[in-house]
Structures are given as C-alpha cells and as structure tokens.
Structure 1
C-alpha cells in the first residue's frame, strides 16, 4: 500500500482557485475571503469564495475546511449551477483527502465528474476532480486506473495553463510508476516534471524530481546515471525556495545511494549526512528524515569501523523508530503519557543511582576489601551488559537481514507474476507460476524467521498453515468446500531444517492441487508433522487418483528431482503409498532443539 504522508498530500492537493495555498499569512487571507463572502450577491460568487477559504484551511484546520466546503455545497445545490456544484465537490473531496477517507474522496470526485457529462466544466475543476480519483486508485493499488486518472488530470491542467498543477501531476505519475517498479516510465515523467518546473522556477519540485530520478536509476541498477543525477541536482540544493523537509529527503537518498554503490570511503554519504546533521541542529527536517539519517549514519560508521559512534547512531535510530511506531498505534495523547511516565522513571532511576553512588563512597572508606570486590562485580556486570548489547545488535541485524531477504523474494515473485502475464505459452506460464510458488515458500520462511524471538528457528506450525492456505487459494479452491486437515505437533524447527522441509511440503502440496483432484467431488488434503525419538516424520496425503508408484518412480519432472534432492540433503527417507489416494511419508533424523 502506498504511504499517505503529508508531503504526498501537499504534492497533489490543489483544487480550483487555490493560489493561496503557498501563502504565509493564512489568517489574513481567510478573514479577507470570508468578509468578501458576506458581501457577495450571487451564489456562484459565494461558492467560489467559500471554496477558496476551505483550500487555505486544509492544512491548518481540516475540520473547518470540511465545514466551509459543506456550506459551499449547500449553496451550490440550492442554486443548481453545475460549475458551482463541481467547485464545492472538489473542495469537499480535498478535505476528505486530508482526513484519509478514501470512500468520501471517491464519492465527491465522481459526483463532480458526472456533472461534466452534461455541462462543460472549466479544465482546472476537471483536473482537481480527476486528481482525487488518481489518489484513491493509488492508495488501493489500482495501478493502471491511477495512472490513467492522473494523465487525464495532466491534460486538463495543460489546457488551463496551470504550470504548478502540471508539474505536481506529472511528478505523481512518475512516483506511481516508481512505486510499481516501472522505472523507465517513471523517468519519462520525472524529466517532464523538471522541464515544466524550470519554466516557472519551482525549485522545490525540481529537487524532488531529481530525487525520484535517482530512485529510478537505482531501481534500474544504472548507478552511474544515478550519481550523475545527484551532480545535476546539486546547484539547486542550497536555494532558499527548497524546503527543509525536501532537503532532508534528498540528503538521505544520496547518502543511501553512496553507501550501497559508492566508493569504499563513501564521501557523498559523509558529506550529505553532515549536511543532514546541520539541518537537524537548526531546523525540523521531519521525523522520517531523522530516522533515515540515523540509519544511514549507523551504516556509514560501521563501514568505517567506528563502532562506538555506529552503535550510538543505531540506538538513536531504534529510539526514533519506536517513538514513530508508538505514535501511529497509540496517538499523540498516549505518546505524551508515555513520555511523562518514562521521564518519571528516569528521574527515579537517576535518584537511585545517586543514592547508590553515595553508599559506595561511604563504604569505600570503611570496607576497602568489600569495595574492591564490588568493583570486580561491577566490571563483570559491565562486560555482561556489553556482550548482551552486542547480542541484541546482532539479533536486530539478523532480523533486518531476514526482513530484507523476504522483501527481495517478494519482489522476485512479483516480477515472475508480471512476466507470466505477458507470456502466451501455457507451459512457460505454468513453469513461472511454479517457480513463483517456490520463491513464496522461501519468502514465508524468512518472514517467520524475523517474526520470532530468535533468528535461527521457524514457527513451523504457522508456516504450514499459511503455506497450505496460500496454495489452496492460488489454485482456485475455497475453504468451505475443501477438507484441509493439519496435525502439526512440532511448534518450531531450526532454520537449516525448516527451509528444505518447507520446500518439500510446497512441492508435494502443489502437485496435489495441480493433478490429484480431477473428477474428485470432495477433495481432501492431510498434512501431519510428528516428532519421534531422534527423528521427524512428515506425512502428506490426498484423496486423488492420478498418481501411481510406477508413474512416480519413472517421472523425470523437476519437482520430483527437487524433492529427492532435498530429502537426501536432510539424510532422510521417503515412502509413497497410492492404495487410497497418494500418501507421501518423509522421515528425517533430527537433533534435540537446544535451549
């Protein structure tokens, strides 16, 4: 799902009659508009003034913006003028956009566009309404519809000669293409955005567009071009028209690029992280920028073997990330309460620490030997604390590694899915689908690894349940008319055993869904994982009639070769019984799980 950050909303939000959005004196402008509203004599004038005032209130007080746009809607409805109604609908859709209400955004955008079917509307009104459609489609992952909506909005903005709307709409199209890994298309629109923005000297938009060009080339693995985009963008970075939030975003993107694909000393990363540090000291670059700064700072310091500063940066990253997550879950009120309690506890800890120091000083004069003994104990405690801290950092890094591996496998799976949609040959498409399922099985293993308390064991109960249900749905079966029986007594497996066992399970279950249930009215699948003394027994059975021992013995399929190879890798055995359906029984030697 695409993130709904405030910066994204600002990028696409402008509705008709909104030249005031960039103004600084909000209150003066709204007072002037509302005074003019009281003197207005025609309903069309009143609606226009109210929607302009609502636009200014959008980011200051969304509830007031919604109230003003509702009043404009009531006046427009009573007047019956379609242009006024469209203006009111666009303003109200924008207010609901700020409040993250996709259903209401869509409702009012569609109501406004329906008016254009019988009444010609101004192109800037049509552009505002169509942008709201693109925003909703983007949030619901309807990629093609979102792109088409934004392209229509760009055409309307071009007709109205509104360069700001043209630039922001073109930028959003490029961002959508990047979000769905269509980087070549994204580059076209980001370069178009720069061309438009230069005409009106929109420096902030130019810098943001270069940042997206860097991301596009990064996605295409064309790293020299990404670094060239950094060079092209640099003359604009110090311009006062570029906001601090934009600078923070750009600094972290450049630092991340240099850390992953730059020279070993990472001069760009060091330079722009220092710029980010200066930004943090003097301004508010935004919480997300701070989080990214400390993560990149930690990686840079680790690469330079500055472990103490790297550890400090990593701790700050974890602290900020946890704070951000708590705010999302609990809201600002709970966050303030938490800070209060934390501050209170820290004060208590500090007080206790001072008391302990005083006691130590008093005891030192009288009990020299005891003081030495306590010092030794304290040294041992510090060593244990440092070891535990290193273990915590290592565990965190391993979880992050498994998380990234899982994300990369998901990307590969999505690419296979996209590729299969472009292939006409049924056998090739089938092979891609099987490969996709194997990758998804491995991805699920890595997901379970970073979701557990340890990084070496997998919750095999959850894995088997999720994998079975995923394959069931993938092959078009419904849970209510399919008899799926799971009997998994083993809760956790070591990762080096869980991965091959998971792949064996994926192959056998996939084979059952593909072939076993033809002409079977009540399909059933039984999966059992039992732990016996020094061995593990995996049983997978179906009630199909397709497979025989002879057919299995002489099969040359890749799936059979993979099953036999993985079984041999685990030093296990396999038995097949086809008397009533197909029942695969695998037995693997296993060592007791170490606590």
Structure 2
C-alpha cells in the first residue's frame, strides 16, 4: 500500500478518540444499572438510560444500541425533538464504533438536517463535525471540508475549549489527508496543547499517535517514535484494546519506513489479532490492508493475497478507498508472484474505483461552487447543465467512434483470414463478434442509464437548493413537487443502472425507493406514517414505469399534504398494491385519511396541475381510473398489459 493511503486510513484516530468519555470510577456502570433496575421515577430511570448509553457507545456498542432502542420505544415522545436527537447520537456512535459508517452517517445527517431547519447552531456544528470526519474517512474530501469548516466557524464563536480542540484536531487530519503536511503539523501541535491544558488524556493520546504518523511521513523518525511511545503511555490512563490496535499499526508503519520489515510485520500482526476481537470491521480491514502490504514487502505473496481478499467480505462502512487499495495491492502481489492475468483483472478494478471516486468528488465540488456564488446561481446552473450535456455528448461520440473503428478492424481481420479458415472457424469468429457487440451494447446502455440518473439527480439537487432561497410557500411547494417528479425518474434510472436487466424495472424496489424519497422530502418517517408496498415479482419496461411512477408520486404527495390534516382514528397509513393479471396490471394507492372532497375530482374544471398530470398519464397509458372515498381515499388504476410489451 502506498504510504499516503495508509496515513489516510489511520489519521482519523484522534477525531474519534477526542469524543471518548473520561475514565469513570470502578462500578460506574453497575451503579447506573442499579438505578435503572430499581427506580420507580420514570424521569430518573430515563436519564440513567441516556447516561449509560452514552457511556457504553465505545465500550460496548451493541449494548448501547439496545439501550437506545429501549429509550425510543418506552420513554421518548415523538414530539420531543431534543431527546430524539440525543438518542440518535447514541445510535450513530454505536454504529460508528461498529464500523458501520453508512448507518452512522444517516443518523448524523438526520440530526444535522433537523438542526439546520431549527437553526440550532451548536447542534449543527456537533453533527456536522461527525459528518465531516466520517466523509473524510470514506474519501469524500469536499463534503468533509465543507462540514469541518462550518463547524470550526461555529465553535470559534460559541464553542467550548474542548470543542475547539476537537475541531482543530479534525482539521489537522484533513490537511494531512490532502498532503499539506506543514499545515497539518501546525494544527496538530495546536490541538495537542489545547488537550494538555484540558488534561484530556484520550485527546492527548490520539493527537500524539497522529503526530507519530505525520513525522514518519516527514522522515523525522526519532520524533515519530517519541510521539508513538507517548501515546502508549497515555493509553494506560484510558486503557482499551482499540487504542492499542492503533498503536501497533502506527508503529508498524514507522518500522516499514525505517526498513525494519520483520519488526513491522510483528506490530501489524499484533494489531490484527486485537482487531479480530473488536466490533469495528473498518479497523479490521485496515489491519488486513497493512498485513497485505508488509507481506508483499516480505515476498510472502499467498499470505498477502489471503489477507487482501478478506477486505471484500465487509461492506458495512462502504469505503471505496479500502476497496481501491485492496485491488491495488492484489494487483501488485499477483504481478510479483507471476500471475499476470489476475494482476491485470485487479488493476482494472482498481482503476474503475479510482475513476468513480474522482467522478463523485467532481459533482460535490460543483455543488460547493453553486452554494458559494449565490448571486450568479441561475447562470451557474445553466452553465453547469450545458457543460454536463457537452461532456456526455463528447463521451458518447468518442464511444461511438471507438465502436465503429473496432467493428471495422474486426471486419477487415475477418475478411483477411477468410480463405485460411474453414466454415466452422468463420461461424465461431462471427459468433464472437456478435457476443462482443452485445456486450458493448449492454455497457453503453448501462452507462446511458447511469448518466441519465446523474443528470436527473443534479437537476433534483438544483431544485432542492433553489427551494432553500424561496420564501413564498406556493413557490416552495412548486419547486419541491418538481424536485419529487424529477427524483422519481432518477430513481427509475438508478434501478435500471444497478439491476441485472437494463430494460426492466422491479416495481417493488422502485416503489420502495420512490416512497422513501417522498417521505424524506416532506421530513416524514415510518414511525409517523406507515407505508405498505405489495408489488413483488412484477417487472415492467421503462416506457410504462415512467408515467406510473409519476402518478404514484402525485398520489403519495397528495396523501401527505391533505389526507391527514384532520383527526383520524388510526395511525396514518398509505398502502400501495400492484397486481399482474392475464391482460392487465392493477395499481391501487389507498390512505386512511379524511378523504377527498367530493367537489375535487379528476373530472372537474377546478383540477390542479397534479390532477391534470395524473389525467394526462392515465390517457397515455390508455388506462381506467376509479376513486373510492370510503374510509379514506383509494385510487385504482387498471392498465392494459399490451402497452407494456
């Protein structure tokens, strides 16, 4: 593994350690559990559960998660946003210490979005700090920088000394990740001094560890060893196996740079054995990568390959960087062991992920520029869309030219060898050409769906960004409705891109993602509105799914906006059912709300834009539509099956 990548995987230690709680006296957990078991005062018991969950997130993430579930089901009211956010921090931290960064990010993002809406600056900084840290860990540097700088600005004005130390430490990690080493050193030394003033042992330990890594990269090995030994000494104050795992891995990196490979192997092996018994699969994969790297240097290629392949068994943290590095090292190991075929395969996978990371970061940079230049927002949007179109057309043109050129070359080769081969060889060659052409067509179609999805997603993001600067409620609603309609089509192309068949859409999966997107746009959750979807084993072509998706989008949106305005006897529920018959498909969208006013139907002259949209798509599908207003509203759509073929 390249040394800079190892640094990236390891530099986040202090970002997480700085949030660890100070050491508690013996029996602290037992005393809290005693209050929980014996107290008859609900408020007192609830607070003890909160404190215990927050105490256990690093020490026992699984138990912390169980406590958070108990708080959610037994003690927290839906309207109590403060306690919901506090509990979500426990959920997020337990997932983070498990190595499940995708789930942790989701919790932090929900907290951040709520805090933004309610202008809670301190909570924006706290949740944003975690979002920035995790995105840096996963390789999303642009997103990471935005959140870390935002948190730093807030902490500078209203933050505590501890919060300022934490953010300085995180920014130092960010600078080291982008190879600004002197700036990183300055920031780390500043953070270390702040932790010393606070007498924060875990913060000092983590910062010393990262300074060890930094000085290793700078080639100042004596300073690196001094800081790593200081970390080991400080870890005695807050002793956990997780911190010792970091220590051995970091020391192994130093030994590698010193050329002491056997000692480096010993340190990495100690770290691996520790992490095999811990919850974080991300840190385990980090040790696997380090073992693969040192074993390659020791020319023990089969053992290196075995460790590197293990990285792909874990996907909880969704780290493209770890996968990228694993492919890179596998390619190197196979090449050095003489297996050039496997080396080429893994190198191609490495390049594919590298290109994907670059593409994702480019989109994020574009989004950042839009936010920075508010006055020129509309011009920038149009310019970006035009550039995206030009790039897509240029790439498509190049692909078409290459395909035509390849076909011509193959045709000429076929003609040249025509007289030298028998009929069997000619048929075999033609079959190979046809097979390749089909694969090229599938690849092109796959790429087309990908780019259409990306473009629609960009339009959706632009509409969402625009809506944040609109004060008029009707205009805001129009923008949100437009965004949802675009999002319904983006989800459709995403499913085609990710699915096995590039022409058919699985309706169950499509409806699930569509409903989740709509609920998120209206800030609704499953605990507020129960949504049931029954459409399994139904696959349809995209031509019919586009209008069906837009119809479902309008119906779900109408239910969320109007169906539950008054009081209803049961929990709000929306049910989507789609059945396939011999000659038709039948789609039903039903809610248990207050029902539609009889004066508002699809046949009346006062119909809204959404109703006209539904009516237009019903006509396009040559379908029949029926509305039942009993016990809520049910819209039934019967679609002739011949139109979907």
TM-score normalised per structure 1: 0.46
Query: Higher relative contact order at CA 8 Å, sep ≥6: structure 1 or structure 2?
Result: 2
